Amino acid sequence: HKDKYLRKFEKIIDLLGPDHHGYINRMKAAVSAMGYDKSSIDILIVQLATLLRNGVAVSMSTRRAEFISLAETAAFILIDVERYHSLNKMKARCLSIFTLSSDYP
C-alpha cells in the first residue's frame, strides 16, 4: 500500500474474503499510522467463487497454493460476464464457474 501512496494514488481498494473481515480496522489503522487519510482506502468483503469441473466443486486453498487466479478465470468465462458480476453482484452472492460444452461456449 505504501508504494501506491508514494505513486500518488488517491484511492486504494482492497478486496478481502469473508474470513478476513477482522482486518478492516487494522488496515485503516496502518494507513493512518503511515500518515495517510484512512478514508483513502476502501476495503470490501467479497464472496469467494466456486469452480465446477464436471459438476463437482474443485477444492482450492491459498495456503496450499491451490487456486485459480482471476486471469486464469478469464479462460473459463467471457471477460464482460466477469466485469458485470464483479461490479454488480460481487458482494451479494457467490459465483460458480463451470466449463461449458462446445455446443454452448
Residue-wise pLDDT tens digits, 49-67: 777 777 888 888 778 888 7
Give the mean pLDDT of the chain.
Answer: 79
Assign 57 to helix, strand or coil. Answer: strand
Quick check: 38 pLDDT over 90? yes
Quick check: 23 pLDDT over 50? yes
Q: Where are the domains of the chain?
A: 2-45, 49-98
Number of residues assigned to the chain: 105
Torsional class of 50: left (φ above 0), alpha (ψ -120 to 50), beta (otherwise): beta
Quick check: 27 pLDDT over 80? yes
| Mean pLDDT value of segment 3-20 | 92
Quick check: 96 pLDDT over 70? no
